Chain A
Amino acid sequence: MFTYRPLVQSLYLSTLQWNLGSPVARPIGLGNYVEWFTAPSTPRVLTTTLVFGVATVGGAMVLGLATALLLNRGLRGTALVRTVAFAPYVLSGFAVGVLWLFIFDPRYGAMNALLRGIGLDGPHWYNDRPWPLVMIIVVYLWKNLGYVALIYLAGLQAVPRDLTDAAALDGAGPVRTLRSIVLPLLTPTSFFLLLTLLMSSLQAFDVIQAMTQGGPLSSTTTLMYQVYVEGFVTQRAGYASAVATVLFVLLVAMTALQMRFLERKVHYS
């Protein structure tokens, strides 16, 4: 009711020239799509979405795997570190955004104080490109790291111990073992993470809203944020629906591509 009906209705709305709350709606066919595809802001929004997506998804997977490998060594204090690392994942994105906005505050924030401490001049994080986007990416990585690490940890614990031991006896170093044995066995986990992280990355909203509101000069406006701005700030609901549809098609296409090309490489035991 609240998922499939709007999916269809959104397609219909995207063919209207219609402002939120206005009683007048004019059918304009594909006009909204034409406008979006030819808008000068579109390449920028797409690039931002792409950079944000690649950095948050890729970064979270690499850092998460590294953390998982660390946690899997069975050192003392692992349980505590695991708890700490996972904590940000359950917190409100908006509150987390506010916290980090303070940390990045150019004058009073901890980030630039630390940078000054090692003799560096921190940039003006809120204003100078590309730092606003970098700032948001850092926060999403911080927030999702524990989740990715935990999922990888579950995957790592399913890797049979004798396989890695045998490799070690054969003289394989840790890097070689990781590349030849562990990573291939982790492909189903990686595949799952890739899909879920991509979904959440394309829908990222609350941290952006808290930190930059898509600015300055739209430099942190992703497709999702554009849907919100067009729909509820400038109130062009028809146009926003068209952008939402583009995003949806993109998402489905990427999911399908991944299913097709990655599924073949996945080792299911």
Chain B
Amino acid sequence: MTTTTLTAPPRPHPRPARERRRPPVLGYVGLAAVALLVGAPLVWLLLASLKTPAETYAVPLQWLPSTLTPDNYVAAGDTVPLGRMFLNSTLLTVLGAGLKVALGLACAYALVFLDIPLRRFFFYLVVGTLMIPSQITIIPNFTLVAELGWLDTYQGILVPGLASAFGTFLFRQHFLTLPTAILEAAHLDGAGHWRRLWLFVVPLSWPTIAAVTLVSVVAEWNDYLWPLLVVERAEMLTLPVGLTWLQNIEGLSNWGVLLAGAVLVTLPVLIVFLVLQRRLVQGLVAGAVTG
């Protein structure tokens, strides 16, 4: 590691002498440690899910599987309806994230471009929901959903989470930076709010829309407590809740199967993250930068 640093091309701006003289060995050790501490458990998960039971329960520990076998995945599929769970999770994620973004856009548009009375009040009302923790809302929401007969339905899982203050907030911050002249011109040309939103505001907001969409996708896919409460039938299971069922059925006696389930829950998000990480991180960090 030291040699690569020493042969690195010199920086355009000379740094203070103290820093230049000492090659940052400690820095590289630190980086390697972080990568190892955080990354190793994930690699371990993938490897362990592909082991045979004999390898999983070997004492002393066998770190690498001798052959990769999909048996654990097959066994997991025999215990819980994996295909259906995948479909449910995907459907709820796409619908949930899509509706959240649409509602957030509409709500932020109203907050910024519509001359409604008490606009500030409504804004604080929206931001205030960010401060209300979920535990205070789950019991009343659960009784409401039960009264509506929505237990074990897609709308029961979906609807209570739709009002996304996060999206509304980010969209509003972005809309405030848009040039109002364009919108006024469109207004004079006779474009209604709907057309103005779609033809002018949305095309100017793609980066924010992408970030909010990705954050919502991750949140919906991982959502756990609410679907756990609302779902009672196997065919309505989402992947994280399905993993709970798998854990309850297989117990701690069948690690391989359980870990295969964990891989199925985490892998899609991990892939989305690795492919689209810049946008996703932008969205997740956006709250910090604007605040």
Contacts and interface: CB of A to CB of B under 8 A. Distances in A.
Interface of A: 1-7, 9-10, 13, 20-21, 67, 70-71, 73, 75-78, 80-81, 83-96, 98-103, 105, 107-108, 110, 113, 116, 142, 145-147, 150-151, 154, 165, 168-169, 189, 192-193, 196, 199, 202-203, 205-206, 209-210, 223-224, 227-228, 231-232, 237, 240-241, 244-245, 247-248, 251-252, 255
Given A90-B222, A92-B222, 13 more contacts: A2-B161, A13-B139, A20-B139, A21-B146, A75-B28, A87-B274, A88-B38, A88-B42, A92-B265, A99-B262, A169-B16, A231-B138, A247-B133
B137 A2 contact: yes
Given A251-B133, A255-B131, A87 B16 contact: no
A148 to B, nearest CB: 10
Given A90-B273, A113-B60, A113-B61, A192 B291 contact: yes
Interface in B223-281: 224-225, 228-229, 239-240, 243-244, 247, 252, 255, 258-259, 261-262, 265-266, 269-270, 272-274, 277, 280-281
Chain B interface mostly helix, strand, loop or mixed?
A: helix
Contact of B24 (A73, A100, A224): A73
A98 B262 contact: yes
Contact of A205 (B139, B224, B281): B224
A205 B228 CA distance: 12
Nearest to B48: A102
A146 B281 CA distance: 11
A81 B35 contact: yes
B173 interface: no
A9 B141 CA distance: 9
Query: Which of B30, B135, B266 has the most chain A CB atoms inside 10 A of its CB?
Result: B135
Contacts of A20: 139, 142-143
A85 B38 CA distance: 6
Contacts of A145: 38
Interface residues of B, number: 83
B18 interface: yes
B270 A87 contact: yes
B107 to A, nearest CB: 13
A3 B255 CA distance: 39
Contacts of A237: 139, 143
A6 B144 CA distance: 9
B56 interface: yes
B255 A102 contact: yes
Given A98-B258, A205-B225, A248-B133, A142 B35 contact: no
Chain A interface mostly helix, strand, loop or mixed?
A: helix
A173 to B, nearest CB: 9
Chain A to chain B: the 8 pairs with minimum beta-carbon distance, closest first: A6-B140, A113-B61, A9-B140, A95-B265, A6-B137, A95-B262, A92-B222, A206-B224
21 contacts: A6-B136, A20-B139, A70-B31, A73-B24, A84-B39, A87-B42, A90-B269, A90-B273, A92-B224, A92-B269, A94-B244, A95-B262, A95-B266, A96-B262, A108-B59, A169-B16, A206-B225, A209-B244, A241-B139, A252-B131, A255-B131
B38 A3 contact: no
A100 B277 CA distance: 24
Contact of B41 (A92, A99, A105, A205): A99
A7 B137 contact: yes
B34 A108 contact: no
A105 B291 contact: no
A90 B45 CA distance: 16
A252 B132 CA distance: 9
Contacts of B291: 192
Contact of A147 (B44, B140, B284): B284
A227 B138 contact: yes
Contacts of B160: 2
Contacts of A247: 133, 135-136
A240 B18 CA distance: 60
A164 B167 CA distance: 37
A192 B129 CA distance: 17
Contact of B31 (A81, A107, A108): A81
Contacts of A146: 38
A145 B131 CA distance: 22
A151 B290 CA distance: 12
B95 interface: no
B285 interface: yes
B57 interface: yes
A110 B269 contact: no
B54 to A, nearest CB: 12
A103 B41 contact: yes
